[in-house]
Structure 1
């Protein structure tokens, strides 16, 4: 049983699980003659999915009173965030290969659905680069300030998804649970703050 637990709790096992959705995408990408456009959506969707999951974990801690499975996810939250950035990079690479030339890429940048995606991708860079213990130790309180840009990345990702595909339902299915949990977190923290102020000595 201890071997099973060690295997399941290994970061390598978790990284393998996070990489699984990308294996068929990369396989199709490497096969000559495959169309690239059909690979854009799944790569972008998994980036958005992992970003949403990473942002849901903290409010889930409040909503579930820190249940064991949520604490298990919390310990791996940075891995999930890095996976979101990795799939975003894959999404961008497929897009660039599909466009094939600089001129159409520049022309596309003036479309709101495209530049929101570019901005989200750029935000992922500092988020991924600082998702390690060394950055946490060196940056101190500034680390949290940098990581808060993940919320901006989420808003831009939602805008990119909706404006490029004009397919609201799948996007909302992913982002509404996150929105509800963040609202719950805000209400929960506001209530706790008011309770402290009410009980504080005059």
Structure 2
């Protein structure tokens, strides 16, 4: 048991876990045809959203389960989850460009809601991933947290991107994934407001 705990606590072990979903995707691309690309396109985007959602759920989970160890364990690895979300989003974007070719840059394609929201979400994730290292955290100081809050905009854009797919045919799966995050964020807001009221009452 101790050996398993030591293994799971190692950063490389966590990276292995985050990389597991991409293995069948890469194997599925083995044939090299466009049909294989389309089969991997949506799963790659879904895992990008899932890892982003999990990373955003950690803080409210720590508030909700403040005496539990596993939220703190996840908090130490939150940046890894964010980078993984960007990695799967990058794969999703590359596969989309391979599938669509030059059509991806035409006005008729870029004007679609589920296209431009996806592009904006991806572009927001780029600086968040680049500045995820310890060096950037130290260099940016308090600005780093302000920059990371852009993930909320990326989350809203990702929700719209997913929901608007196939004439809003993706709204069901999108709400299933983003619903728990919305509930946890609502709890986080309530928790902060309640804490402020308690402090105001103590100081009165």
Matched, 1:167 2:170: yes
* 1:8 corresponding residue in structure 2: 8
CA contact 1:162–1:168 (8 Å) conserved in 2: yes
Unaligned runs of 5+ in 1: none
* 1:117 corresponding residue in structure 2: 118
Between stretches 18-27 and 172-181, larger displacement belongs to 18-27
CA contact 2:34–2:99 (8 Å) conserved in 1: no
Query: 2: CA distance between counterparts of 1:104 and 1:189?
Result: 43
* 1:183 corresponding residue in structure 2: 186
CA contact 2:63–2:188 (8 Å) conserved in 1: yes
Deviation of 1:104 after TM superposition, in Å, equals 4.4
Query: Cα–Cα, structure 1 residues 169 and 135, in superposed 2: closer, same or farther, change >3 Å?
Result: same
CA contact 2:97–2:104 (8 Å) conserved in 1: no
CA contact 1:60–1:66 (8 Å) conserved in 2: no
Task: Give the paired residue count.
Answer: 200
Cα deviation per residue 1:82-138 (whole Å; 9 max; x = unaligned)? 1000000000000000012x2443231111110000000000101101111111111
Unaligned runs of 5+ in 2: none
2:195 to 175, 183, 192: 192
* 2:61 corresponding residue in structure 1: 60
DSSP-derived class of the 1:185 partner: helix
Q: Tell me the TM-score normalised to structure 1 length.
A: 0.94
Cα deviation per residue 1:173-197 (whole Å; 9 max; x = unaligned)? 1101000000000000111011112
DSSP-derived class of the 2:111 partner: coil
CA contact 1:57–1:74 (8 Å) conserved in 2: yes
CA RMSD of aligned residues (A): 1.3
Query: Cα–Cα, structure 1 residues 63 and 125, in superposed 2: closer, same or farther, change >3 Å?
Result: same
Matches within 5 A, 1:24-35: 24-33=24-33, 35=35
Between stretches 190-199 and 51-60, larger displacement belongs to 190-199
Matches within 5 A, 1:3-152: 3-33=3-33, 35=35, 36-100=37-101, 102-106=102-106, 107-152=108-153
